[in-house]
Amino acid sequence: MYNLPDMPDLFSRWKNGLSRTSKAAFGRLSSLFGATEIDDQTWEELESLLIQADLGMDTTVSVLESLQSAVKSKGLTRTADLQVVLEQELRSRLDSPPTLIFSAKPAIILLVGVNGSGKTTTAAKLGQRFAKDGKRVLLVAADTFRAAAVDQLQVWAQRLELPIVAGQMGSDPGAVVYDGVQSAVARGFDLVLVDTAGRLHTRYNLMEELKKVNRVAGKALPGAPHAVWLVLDATTGQNALVQARAFKEAVNVTGIILAKLDSSARGGMAFAIQKELGLPILFAGLGEKAEDLAPFDPESFVKGILAE
Ligand SMILES: Nc1nc2c(ncn2[C@@H]2O[C@H](COP(=O)(O)OP(=O)(O)OP(=O)(O)O)[C@@H](O)[C@H]2O)c(=O)[nH]1
Ligand SMILES: [Mg+2]
C-alpha cells in the first residue's frame, strides 16, 4: 500500500526547501522580467544572477547561449518572454531520476561522502522511506572512527524501529560491513544501507580505506555493493564537484543525493552536477527530519528555485 503524496503539499515542501536559493538569486529574476525590451543589460544581469545561484561558469554560459538562440529563433523581444524560455531551458538540463529497481536480494547500498555532508541522516531517512515501501531494511553503522557516529545511527534506528548492525568504535569498517552483509543474507533482508565514515576526498589513506570497504562488500556478497550513493552537501555549491570527481575515481558512484538543499542558497549547483558528472540525482534532503527526503523532482526543483 502506498500513501499517495498530496501534490500541493509536496510542492510546497520543495518550495520551502528551495526558498534560500530562490531568495538569493533566482527569485530576483522576476524583477528582471517585465514589459521591458531585452537588451545587453538584461543579459548581463541574468548572467550575474545565474552565477550567484552557483550554476558555475560553464553552465551559466551555456544556458545564456541557449536562451540567446531561442530568443533569436522565436523572435522574442520582451523580457517577460524570457521567463518561460528560462524555465524550459533549466528543466531540460535536469534528468528525472531513474526508477530504483534492486534485483539483488539483499541489495547493498553504500553511502559515501566528505565529513558532515549528511550521510548518517540520509541513511536513516532512506531506511524509513524504503521500510514504508514494504522493504526489509538493515542499517549498518560502519563509521567506526567516532563513537558518536555509531550512536547517532543507533538513535535513529531505535526511533524508526529499524534493525541495525553496528561496529565497535575503532574496529575495522570493512569487518563491520562484512558482518552486516552476511547478517542481511542470513536474515533475509531486502536492503542494506551502509553508513560510512566521512572522509576528505584529498586524503589518500582514507580514500584507499573506502576502496577496501567497497571490496569487502563484494567478498561478503558477489556483486555488492549494488549501489554507491554519494551524499553531497548542497551548501558547498560548486566545491561539491571536486569532491564528486574524487569519489567517482575511488569507487563506482552510481547516484547522487543532494542533502541540505533547504539550508542552501546554492541549489543551482544541481545543474553543474548533472552536466559534469553524468550521474543521476536520486534524492534531495529538504530538512533534518526523517520525512525530509524527497525523490529528486526536476519539475518541482526548477519551479521552486524560480519561485518569488
Ligand atoms: N537542514 C538540513 N540538515 C541536514 C540535512 N541532512 C543532514 N542535515 C544535518 O547536517 C548535519 C550533519 O549530518 P550527518 O548526517 O551527521 O552527516 P554525516 O555525513 O554523517 O557526517 P560525518 O559522519 O561526520 O561525516 C546534522 O546536523 C544533520 O541534522 C538536510 O537535508 N537538511
Ligand atoms: Mg555520519
CA of 196 to the centre of ligand 2 (A): 7
Cell numbers for 228: 554507491
Query: Any idea which ligand is nearest the CA of 116?
Result: 1
Q: Is 188 left (phi over 0), alpha (psi -120 to 50) or beta?
A: left
Angle between helices 204-220 and 173-187 in degrees, nearest 10: 20
pLDDT at 2 over 80: no
Residue 7 has a pLDDT of 52
Ligand 1 pocket, mutate which of 120, 193, 199, 257 (most atoms under 8 A from CB): 120
**Cβ 121 under 6 angstroms from ligand 1:** yes
Give the confidence band of 8 by pLDDT, cuts at 50, 70, 90: low
- In tens, the pLDDT along 169-204 reads 889 999 999 999 999 999 999 999 999 999 998 899
CA of 137 to the centre of ligand 1 (A): 21
- In tens, the pLDDT along 248-290 reads 999 999 999 999 999 988 889 999 998 889 999 999 999 999 9
**Cβ 297 under 6 angstroms from ligand 1:** no
* Ligand 1 atom nearest residue 263's Cα: 1
* Ligand 1 atom nearest residue 149's Cα: 23
* Ligand 1 atom nearest residue 124's Cα: 15
**Cβ 262 under 6 angstroms from ligand 1:** yes
Query: Which protein residues have a CB closer than 5 Å to ligand 2 (ion)?
Result: 119-120, 149
CA of 159 to the centre of ligand 2 (A): 17
Residue 5 has a pLDDT of 52
**Cβ 285 under 6 angstroms from ligand 1:** yes
% of residues, the chain, pLDDT over 70: 97
- In tens, the pLDDT along 208-245 reads 999 999 999 999 999 999 999 999 999 998 889 999 99
What pTM value is reported for the model? 0.94
- In tens, the pLDDT along 19-75 reads 998 888 777 777 788 778 999 999 999 999 888 888 889 999 999 999 999 999 999
* Ligand 1 atom nearest residue 123's Cα: 15
Give the confidence band of 100 by pLDDT, cuts at 50, 70, 90: very high
Nearest CA to ligand 1 atom 7: 118
CA of 87 to the centre of ligand 2 (A): 36
pLDDT at 127 over 90: yes
CA of 285 to the centre of ligand 1 (A): 9
Q: Mean pLDDT over residues 92-103, rounded?
A: 93
CA of 141 to the centre of ligand 2 (A): 9
Nearest CA to ligand 1 atom 1: 287
CA of 261 to the centre of ligand 1 (A): 11
